[in-house]
Amino acid sequence: MAFRLRIGSRPSALALVQANAIKREIERLADGIAIEIVAISTGGDRMTSASLARVGGKGLFVRELEEALVDARIDIAVHSLKDLPAVLPEQFRIVAVPQREDPRDALLIRDDREAADDREPWQALERGARVGTSSARRQYELLRMHPDLAIVPLRGNVDTRLKRLADGGFDAIVLAMAGLKRLGKIDALEGIKLYPLDESNFVPSGAQAALAIEALRTATIGGSEELATIIASLNDAGSRAEVTAERSFLATIGASCVSPVGVKGTISSEELALRALLFSAEGTAQMADNCVTPLSIEDGKLETIARECGEALGKRMLAAGARALIETPSK
């Protein structure tokens, strides 16, 4: 049977790489399908310099794509899952979460700034070193480990950020490993050393490195139940369990898309481990906690267990004062 499918995506290079990866997977599974990628500029794409916290958070990267779903201009939308709010509006659903990429953050340092010793790379940065990031979470996690760094705002696409580092505007920058890998940058770095950061001290954003295929809750994708089943088969159960725990935690504590919160689930054959690290808006206070939940692989149980794991850790941290911490107003 011939299918037609319209995939909505942001127009950035990374977003289009991600959308095309989903396109190729669907084409592999659905013979003769005609797929169009519809690039839709979002509010977040148009605001290249303003702080996301001031202009509405990362929800700005999904609003226009969801409007296109409602208006039937696209059949599905491909998002970086970390850009979606922890609780979706009722009219939308996540059809699939494909296998997650490397969720770690990475510290990138110019070769001429690298210290020749056995310390961790962030420890080797001298006092006052200029480190670029516009993420409050990344800023506070760095300063938690190395209080003498000078954190400097840095926005723009991956190429822009790498160029500013190479040109000497920064001593180091922090980027997501997943974006670097998907864009093929890992093996193309010149004059720059890359160091993945450990997930215990540098806890990633909830759902970092995961993609979400979003659709309307009530509509049949592309007018075909068969096509909907094909797209749903792209779901990776382990990845979905990890991000379900993370998003459940964020929803439980009431974190917004720009709250300085890191949360990472790690699934194995026997357990789901979840670690959270959160900060006050100004980074002056912090709280961390972990939980481990035994797993059942019974049909329909894994996602439920993951959701309950995130909720349990969230409630425990709320009881310890997490809400007051994340609701501390920023000056």
Which ranges of 132-182 would DSSP assign to H, the alpha helix?
136-145, 158-166, 177-182
Is 112 catalytic? The answer is: no
Task: Choose, from 75, 83, 105, 171, the residue flagged as catalytic.
Answer: 83
Q: State the pairing for strand pair 130-132/286-294.
A: unpaired
Which strands make up the sheet holding 105-110, listed edge to edge?
A: 150-152, 130-132, 172-176, 105-110, 192-196
The number of residues in the chain equals 331
* Distant-in-sequence, close-in-space partners of 253: CB < 8 Å, separation ≥ 6: 261, 278, 314, 317, 318, 322, 323, 326
CB of 66 closer than 8 Å to CB of 212: no
Place of tokens 């160091």: 195
Its sign, for the CA torsion 122, 51, 87, 288, is: positive
Torsional class of 191: left (φ above 0), alpha (ψ -120 to 50), beta (otherwise): left
Q: How far apart are CA 95 and CA 3, in angstroms?
A: 18
CB of 154 closer than 8 Å to CB of 163: no
User: Which amino acids are annotated catalytic?
Assistant: 83
